[in-house]
A and B are shown apart, each in its own frame.
Chain A
Amino acid sequence: MKLKAFIKLLLKGLVKEAHIYIISFAIFPIVLSAMYGFFQKEMFNPSNEMSKIGIYIKDEDISSLSKGLSDYLCSDNMKQILEVNKDKEKAKFVVTIPKGYEESMHSSNNFQIKINQKEDKAEYSSAIISSIINKFNEGAHQQILIENKIKEMNLSDKEKEELFKKTKQKIDMTYGTNAIKNDVIPADKALTSFQYYSVSIFSFMFIVTVLSLVGGYYKDKETGIFNRIISSSLSKLQYFNYSLVTFFIFALIINTIYILAYRLTGLSFKGSPMLLILIIIAKSLFETSISGIVIAFFKQKKHAILFLQLFIMLAVTLGGAFVPMYRISSGIILKLSDYVPNALIINVFKNFLLYNSFNSVKGYLAIFVLMSIALYGISIMKIRLKWEG
């Protein structure tokens, strides 16, 4: 009942001040990303962003079709996308054409060309290689079918040869490099300016949300609302937990407003709604637990704000705002930079936008949830020990 009162009051406050939240968390970010996108649109041409993918081909079939596939991957057209290495060590991917490949193609049986990824975080490149091979196989399979049909036709050998050449040319055109670039590599694999800035600004909104939550708590202390609530028949632990519930709901609503603004305007955050809900819940949980630990440990606003400023500076620095991270040689700092909150938020949403799959975001979701549980546990221990007096 008491928790319900906290939630009801929060929702009423949000409704009555809705215009402020919509301007701050929906309109303002979209305008900002439109401005950034306009002035930096050159950065967001997908063709400029493509770098060549290094592969090594291991042909175990040694058939004319496997040779055809190797030649296709080494062709001049493919050189715009792929770089075939002779040295296995230099390549990022090993493409293994298994024994029985050609035979399977003729008999339309299932087979699998292995693509071994030598590094993590190369799902995008792996998807491109896989798509190129699939396109070749599709073409080859059709060619085999057509060849068989032509052979069965009642034509002279010369006519059959001409017909075969014509058909092959058409197939080659269909599966050319441009077609692959335009078709195999889908446009949504590169972020648009709106998508890029929707994610970047969202990582900044994380800081704004935490500051709002923590600021609200200290405002309640300054205005005596905290004293009034604690003087009622409510324990300090109950009050802390109820506050965290309202923090979570506030963060959830703010994050949803932000996401919906981009999604409804069709500018960003398209993709699985369920996945998006999961990410928003995890992000809100993370923001709640960080705010919780701040109010659990810092009695005075000035100390809390100082701590948050240091935390933000550290997070932004490790995020590469002042020093490009590729110039950092320390492995520990590089590893840490992967786990600062703004980097985690940017990465989880980028992966969502690029791959739209649970697998691509599950690691980040787990980090958010585990860190939230750990922070909440520490906060509760502090509250039980001594809090506010």
Chain B
Amino acid sequence: MSLIQVKNITKRFDDKLVLDNISLEIEEGNIFGLLGPNGAGKSTLINIMTGLLQGNGGDITIGGYSFKDNPLKVKEQIGLVPQEIALIESVSAYDNLEFFASLYGLKGKMLKERIDEALEITGLKDRRKEKVKKFSGGMKRRLNIAAAIMHHPRILIMDEPTVGVDPQSRNHIFEFTKRINRENKTTIIYTSHYMEEVEYLCDNLFIMDIGKEVAYGSKERVKAMVSDRSRVVLKLDNYKGELLLKLKSLQGVKECIEEEGLVKLKVEENTFELGRMLAVIEGYGSKIKGITFEEPTLEEVFLALTGKKLRD
């Protein structure tokens, strides 16, 4: 049985349908990417999963507990890293962590240990007594994460955790995410506008748009949905524009352009024949100095599936 089961979730705001019968399952120990352009319904789905909103239909079961029947048991298992820096700026980092940990019932020695651990993991131990308002954006982001992990949640929901952070803090967050997933087997639901982050971190994806499922499954499976559009990149010696026209006319070639001294072909895998391409190049007296085959990036997959860029 999957750790998280989202069954037929529907949500309306007045007459507007924001989530349309969404269903998905997430296995324990997964890093799960939730993707969609602005207005896709990601935040609404997360808000329902964390108990902030109530759906108009369907149910969510986490660790065997239904949200409808046992909301507090479900929430105990979740740690939320909100999109915003959800911290109290007028008090210290330690005071913030003490407060949020207490909300999960941590107290005494355990409370202190968990705070130390969270500060250690996020690299903020030396700044524990400083007021949060004095922190840099990156440090605040890290503390924002620390505040969500002290109760050792089975599920960590990270909603755009790297917005506005410097590269150093971003790498720190990546490392942390991988580490907590590897060491604690924490299941992570990760949303981001940065496709390279999702590509690097996630095992499985759920792409949604206008409240509906667009693609769902492992990263490879989702890519395979548009995999007929691979790319061949050639480094040629001694070629003319005529060759490019000939390559473009080959069966299975959708596009052929010259960019930064390289010849790039977008091809349909099913119909494209590599041998024919090599023969044409040889026939024109050109030499191949290098050849690479590229899979579509998630950015391209997303564009192909939704017709939008992720940051639209």
B35, CB-defined interface residue at 8 Å: no
Stretch at the interface among B97-105, B231-239, B245-253: B97-105
* Distance in Å: Cβ of B310 to nearest Cβ of chain A: 22
On whether A233 and B52 interact (CB within 8 A), knowing A8-B99, A13-B91, the answer reads no
Stretch at the interface among B76-84, B112-120, B216-224: B76-84
Give the docked Cα–Cα distance between A8 and B107 (Å).
13
On whether A231 and B52 interact (CB within 8 A), knowing A1-B105, A17-B90, A224-B83, the answer reads yes
Give the docked Cα–Cα distance between A2 and B98 (Å).
11
Chain B 85-113, CB-CB to A under 8 Å as 1, else 0, gives 11110110001001110111101000000
Residues of chain A contacted by B87 (CB below 8 angstroms): 223, 225
Give the docked Cα–Cα distance between A235 and B72 (Å).
7
> Which chain A residue lies CB-closest to B73?
A233
> Which chain B residue lies CB-closest to A6?
B99
Is B95 within 8 A of A1, CB to CB?
no
Give the docked Cα–Cα distance between A186 and B91 (Å).
49
Give the docked Cα–Cα distance between A162 and B107 (Å).
89
On whether A5 and B102 interact (CB within 8 A), knowing A222-B84, A231-B78, the answer reads yes
B222-266 contacts to A (CB < 8 Å): none
Chain B 156-170, CB-CB to A under 8 Å as 1, else 0, gives 000000000000000
* Distance in Å: Cβ of B164 to nearest Cβ of chain A: 14
> Which chain B residue lies CB-closest to A225?
B86
Is A227 within 8 A of B91, CB to CB?
no
Give the docked Cα–Cα distance between A40 and B107 (Å).
57
Chain A 1-30, CB-CB to B under 8 Å as 1, else 0, gives 110111011001100110000000000000
A232, CB-defined interface residue at 8 Å: yes
Tell me which of B71, B88, B100 contacts A235 (CB under 8 A): B71
Give the interface residue-count category, chain B: 20 to 34
Is B82 within 8 A of A224, CB to CB?
yes
Give the docked Cα–Cα distance between A229 and B52 (Å).
10
Is B95 within 8 A of A232, CB to CB?
no
B309, CB-defined interface residue at 8 Å: no
B301, CB-defined interface residue at 8 Å: no
Give the docked Cα–Cα distance between A234 and B71 (Å).
9
Is B86 within 8 A of A224, CB to CB?
yes
Tell me which of A1, A8, A13, A230 contacts B50 (CB under 8 A): A230
* Distance in Å: Cβ of A16 to nearest Cβ of chain B: 6
Is A233 within 8 A of B86, CB to CB?
no
On whether A228 and B107 interact (CB within 8 A), knowing A12-B95, A223-B84, the answer reads no
Could you show 25 A-B contacts with beta carbons less than 8 Å apart? A1-B107, A2-B105, A4-B102, A5-B102, A8-B99, A13-B90, A223-B86, A223-B87, A224-B84, A224-B85, A225-B86, A227-B82, A227-B84, A227-B86, A228-B82, A228-B100, A230-B51, A231-B50, A231-B78, A232-B104, A233-B105, A234-B103, A388-B52, A389-B52, A389-B54
